[in-house]
Amino acid sequence: MRKLLFIIMISVCTVAWSQSYTMRATKYHPGRGGAGWVTASGARIDNDKLKRYEIRWVALSHDMFRQYGFRLGDTIDVTCERIPKLNGKWVVKDKMGPRLRKRIDFLLPYRDTIGFVNPTTVEIRKL
């Protein structure tokens, strides 16, 4: 009986951790006219690393933290058919404004659009 309960608990936990979310994605940039040089997690943005795409950070809307259990420092897997450069692992380092819902913001170098013309839809999954 204990083994059966253990197997059920493991199954439930696995399903909960692999849940994916579809959300609207936009981009933002640091610095003058942008979001600043320090994220909500306290991490300082190194502009040279950002230009070389060594930094892959995102900001999530407040509801993703409250309702869905995301935390600053979590690594997420992003899937986007329209903009392939967004695919892969990103780290949650920032929070968006409190009025936005189910949104993700990708930190990109100034003037780099990587294909963002309009907001697009992406799917994310917590790793």
Under the banding of pLDDT at 50, 70 and 90, the label for residue 6 is low
The pLDDT score that the predictor gives to residue 1 is 65
* 41: number of Cβ within 10 Å: 15
DSSP of 51-73: HTT---EEEE-HHHHHTT---TT
pTM over the 0.85 mark: no
The pLDDT score that the predictor gives to residue 117 is 79
Under the banding of pLDDT at 50, 70 and 90, the label for residue 15 is very low
Rounded to 5 degrees, what angle do the CA atoms 50, 77, 67 make? Answer: 105
Compute the radius of gyration of the chain from its Cα atoms.
16
pLDDT in tens, 65-111: 999 999 999 999 999 999 999 999 999 999 998 899 999 999 999 88
- The closest of 108, 102, 96 to 122, measured between CA atoms, is 102
